[in-house]
């Protein structure tokens, strides 16, 4: 059997499972999630053992220690994965929620309900905990999951999915509601990207190159996630000490995540006051500043801080490291133009005391999230109170910003009448044989 | 200058216009819409004259009369187009609506607002009124429109867009908020389909082949619209007279539209009673039935009605004519399986007296709309009370079913703090220099 046949078999099984899973009530899904958590704990040794083979292979391949640490599972990590599954079980079920509804003038009762998307494909890198997290979120939202993890975690992912499937076998949720895309080759990703009609949506989770390649090649609708070139704009009316704390937090509190700041922009009116203090403080935090000419002018002898000259590429980059680009801008509008030009429309912040400037910035910046006098780091499903997050969408269709369970659903209109017919003159209600 | 350069110029002008249009308040947009309506009326003669050239060309090309009638504009039709623009001005502005919001436990004020999508591309066939309708809906929802109509209406569309642009020139809305894609070649459609990053969404409106080709070729996100292979399922517990009226209305009231029924399915328990009366009545309405073997058995001598044997293709087809496919099914579940297999997930109806059957059908049928004891013809933005409709989405992402103004928007999260920083221990509020 060819790779393509293997994939088709899995995808079709996913579709069938999705049809069974979709109408299940919350209780059936929660029971299944707890069964999964129970089995993950009971079979932790088996999971850790499979993971050890991935770790060993990664080590032989000369993988850096930091990446090996991300890959590694021990009993404690398996416990925390199982706990996360139980947390998902505790979240409200988005399916069946009535979003809108009314009785139309002609008496038709109209409701718009949340329904599952169907089959959700997830392509991800790195940590094997995503395998279980993503499966649990899909299952709770009534979707079948088709998972394609990193080939470096293939042994771990295989065992994790097997444990989940065997746990599901004793529940109302079909085991095929959670499946791994077969194979570790690049071809196997392509099958998933071209499964239009079999897979309802693809969510790539990972770095910019992964996401771009999926967006380019997929014929299945994609939800883009996670690339964050976030900005902090220090307005002419900013409280500069507040601005500095927000900037440092946005950049340095956790530089490796998508909601960390990658560029700061300073209004020319406060550049003399702000830039030197920012350079000094950022240097102390270990941050390298890549500045435009006007920022660079504050470096060197006057502050004792070396500013690296910024290129166009610096302003486009998502460093994910202790680096930040910086520029002085002539106006709030120039800051917005810079953000529109170079940003990734993830999260952009303004620090200002001015209501007018805040209103204008919020209105003009076209990003998934706009922060006013707050760190960009708050753009996060957990912080927003969603309880769980499948990713942060940076696209405009379907979902934008942190995606929780409701973002893993579609909708369905239901209208109920008693023989309602549409005519050119308006609604007529047919009288059936029951009429008396 | 090449075609591609022409297109790029137009698309970039659209992006710039979108950035100006997006933050405009409702009053500015409504004023612009009324200015457009005024000028359409004032320049009706010019529009009718341009249209006469399209009509003449179509006639020379041997276009059927029915299609020429769809193409033709006279003063009365221009008046009705202008009236539709004023109706859009009367609708509420979706932009700025707060969809969700709360004050988070840490004091951050969080809101999710509706914002425009940006640049909306619309590819459509046939009637030139769509040019103005689509432009008005985009403008009201704060989006720039890039229109690609049928080449048979090119003269009409060119003048309509020129009139709209010249009307906008006197308003706060940039004239480039409404533009025609340059050219009438197939290449010009391709430019639009490949303008990822310049165009935010593409909405094809027309027949199945147009929609399929856009879905296949576009790298811009697409909202699929309008293909309707709608079903009426007559349950074992149906009031058969009601079922017959609903079936006839769904099929014959206006066969050329996407929410007309294309197949009916009859539970075996009522086939003896229902199929003969349906065949007789449908024949009287001029409808040809393409039946499976069990339906065909009721044709011929017993009813005097000829049933055409149905092929697989008949069950897949959107006839848009006085034809209907028909099958007898063994159970409600078999009806659902048929609908899942052959349907287009537009609208499917059940006729039943049974609450249980209705609940089960609604729960199992995965379509944009499910009708209970009502004609499929009610799946329509106007009937649902939206006031206007840009199309009926048959996809699951972003919008499903009739799309009104809110479906032409995305969202933006805004959070406001007073120096909120995220730390591993929770939120810390920075004290700035204003603290006292």
Q: Report chain B (436 residues): mean pLDDT per 10 consecutive residues.
A: 86 97 97 98 98 96 90 96 96 96 96 97 89 96 96 95 97 98 88 93 87 85 88 98 98 94 98 97 97 94 90 95 97 97 96 98 97 97 89 93 96 97 95 74
Residues of chain B in contact with residue A253, where contact means CB-CB under 8 angstroms, are: 421-424
Report yes or no on A70 lying in a domain: yes
**Cα(B149)–Cα(B182) distance, integer angstroms:** 10
Is residue A182 domain-shared with residue A247, that is, in the same domain? no
Digit-coded pLDDT (tens) for A206-257? 887 888 888 888 889 999 887 899 999 999 999 999 999 999 999 999 998 9
Which residues 161-220 of chain A have a CB within 8 Å of chain B? 196, 200-201, 215-216, 219
pLDDT at B435: 60
User: Would residue B423 count as lying in a domain?
Assistant: no
CA A58/CA B269 separation, integer angstroms? 63
Let me know: does A173 contact A22? Beta carbons within 8 Å.
no
> What's the Cα-to-Cα distance from B294 to each of A277, B89, B236, B326, B329, rounded to whole Å?
84, 53, 16, 9, 9
pLDDT digits (tens, 9 = 90+) for B278-289: 999 999 999 999
CATH number of the domain encompassing residue A254: 3.40.309.10
Give the β-pairing of B323-329 and B288-291.
parallel
- The answer to whether residue B393 is domain-embedded is no
- Which residues of chain B neighbour A422 with C-beta distances below 8 Å? 249, 253, 375, 377-378, 383
ipTM: 0.93
Res A76: pLDDT = 96
Residues B218 and B262 in one domain: no
CB A117 within 8 A of CB A408: yes
B312 in A contact zone (CB under 8 Å): no
Looking at the fold, whether B259 and B328 belong to one and the same domain comes out as: yes
| CB-based contact B51:B128 (threshold 8 Å) | yes
B110, B241, B431 ranked by CB distance to A433: nearest: B241
Contact, A228 vs A402, CB < 8 A? Answer: no
Residue B389 lies in a domain: no
Q: What is d(CA B412, CA A366) in angstroms, rounded to the nearest whole number? A: 8
Is B363 found in the same domain as B261? Answer: yes
CA dist B396 and B42 (Å) reads 42
d(CA B321, CA A326) in angstroms, rounded, equals: 63
Per-residue pLDDT of A398-408, as tens digits, reads: 999 999 999 99
| A117 touches B at CB < 8 Å | yes
Q: How many domains does chain A have?
A: 2
Query: Choosing among A197, A212, A221, A260, which should be mutated to test the B contact, i.e. which has the most B CBs within 10 A?
Result: A221
Do residues B255 and B344 both lie within one domain? yes
- Residue B419 within a domain: no
What's the pLDDT at B301? 79
A123 inside domain:
yes
Task: Clarify whether residues B40 and B156 are in a common domain.
Answer: yes
**Shortest Cα distance from B294 to chain A (angstroms)?**
25
Query: What does the block give as tokens for A45?
Result: 């040794």
User: Is residue A393 domain-resident?
Assistant: no
- Whether residue B47 is found in the same domain as residue B195: yes
Residue B72, classified by CB atoms within 10 Å of its CB into exposed (0-12), middle (13-18) or buried (19+), is middle
Residue spans of alpha helices (H) in A345-393: 355-364
Residues of chain A neighbouring B418 (CB-CB closer than 8 A): 242, 373
| Pairwise CB contact (< 8 Å): B241 & A383 | no
B261 contacts B281 by C-beta, under 8 angstroms? no
Say whether A401 and B378 touch across the interface (CB within 8 A). no
More confident residue, B4 or A367: A367
CATH at A17: 3.40.605.10
Residues B206 and B294 in one domain: no
Task: Say which DSSP state B300 is in.
Answer: B
Domain hosting B122: range is 3-224+402-413
Same domain, B263 and B202: no
Contact residues, chain B, for A219 at CB < 8 Å: 216
Q: Are residues A180 and A255 in the same domain?
A: no
pLDDT surpassing 80 at residue A105: yes
A255 and A214 part of one domain: no
Which residues are bridge partners to B351 per DSSP? B234
Taking the CB of residue A170, how many other CB atoms lie within 10 A of it? Answer: 12
In B22-107, which residue ranges form alpha helices assigned H by DSSP? 26-42, 44-60, 65-71, 75-90
Binding-face residues of A in 326-355 toward B, CB within 8 A: 340, 353
Q: Is residue A426 one of the residues assigned to a domain?
A: no
**A242 and A287 belong to one structural domain:** yes
């Amino acid at each position: 059997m060819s790779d393509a046949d293997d994939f088709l078999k899995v995808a079709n099984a996913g579709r069938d499972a999705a049809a069974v899973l979709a109408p299940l009530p919350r209780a059936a899904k929660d029971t299944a999630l707890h069964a999964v958590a129970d089995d993950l704990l009971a079979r932790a040794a088996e999971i850790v053992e499979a993971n050890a083979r991935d770790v060993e292979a990664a080590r032989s391949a000369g993988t850096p220690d930091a990446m090996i640490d991300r890959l590694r599972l021990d009993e404690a990590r398996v416990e925390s994965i199982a706990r996360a599954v139980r947390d998902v079980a505790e979240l409200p079920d988005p399916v069946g929620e009535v979003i809108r509804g009314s009785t139309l003038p002609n008496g038709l009762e109209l409701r718009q309900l949340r329904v599952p998307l169907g089959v959700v494909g997830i392509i991800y890198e790195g940590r094997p905990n995503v395998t279980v997290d993503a499966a649990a979120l899909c299952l709770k939202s009534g979707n079948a999951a088709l998972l394609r993890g990193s080939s470096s975690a293939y042994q771990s992912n295989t065992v994790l999915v097997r444990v989940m499937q065997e746990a599901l076998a004793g529940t109302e949720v079909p085991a095929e509601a959670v499946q791994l895309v077969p194979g570790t080759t690049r071809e196997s990703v392509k099958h998933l990207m071209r499964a239009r009609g079999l897979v309802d949506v693809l969510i790539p989770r990972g770095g910019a190159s992964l996401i771009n390649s999926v967006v380019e090649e997929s014929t299945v609708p994609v939800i883009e996630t996670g690339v964050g070139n976030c900005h902090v704009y220090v307005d002419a009316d900013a409280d500069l000490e507040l601005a500095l704390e927000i900037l440092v937090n946005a950049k340095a509190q956790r530089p490796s995540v998508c909601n960390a700041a990658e560029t700061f922009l300073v209004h020319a009116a406060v550049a003399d006051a702000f830039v030197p203090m920012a350079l000094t403080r950022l240097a102390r935090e270990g941050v390298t500043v890549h500045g435009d000419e006007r920022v660079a002018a504050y470096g060197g002898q006057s502050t004792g801080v070396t500013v690296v000259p910024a290129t166009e590429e610096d302003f486009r980059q998502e460093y994910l490291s202790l680096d930040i680009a910086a520029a002085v801008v002539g106006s709030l509008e120039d800051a917005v133009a810079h953000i529109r030009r170079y940003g990734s429309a993830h999260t952009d912040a303004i620090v200002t005391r001015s209501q007018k400037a805040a209103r204008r910035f919020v209105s003009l910046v076209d990003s998934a999230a706009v922060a006013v006098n707050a760190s960009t780091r708050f753009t996060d499903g957990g912080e927003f109170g969603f309880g769980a997050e499948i990713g942060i969408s940076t696209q405009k269709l379907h979902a934008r910003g942190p995606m929780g369970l409701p973002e893993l659903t579609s909708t369905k209109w239901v209208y109920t009448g008693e023989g309602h017919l549409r005519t050119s003159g308006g609604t007529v209600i047919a009288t059936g044989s029951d009429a008396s």
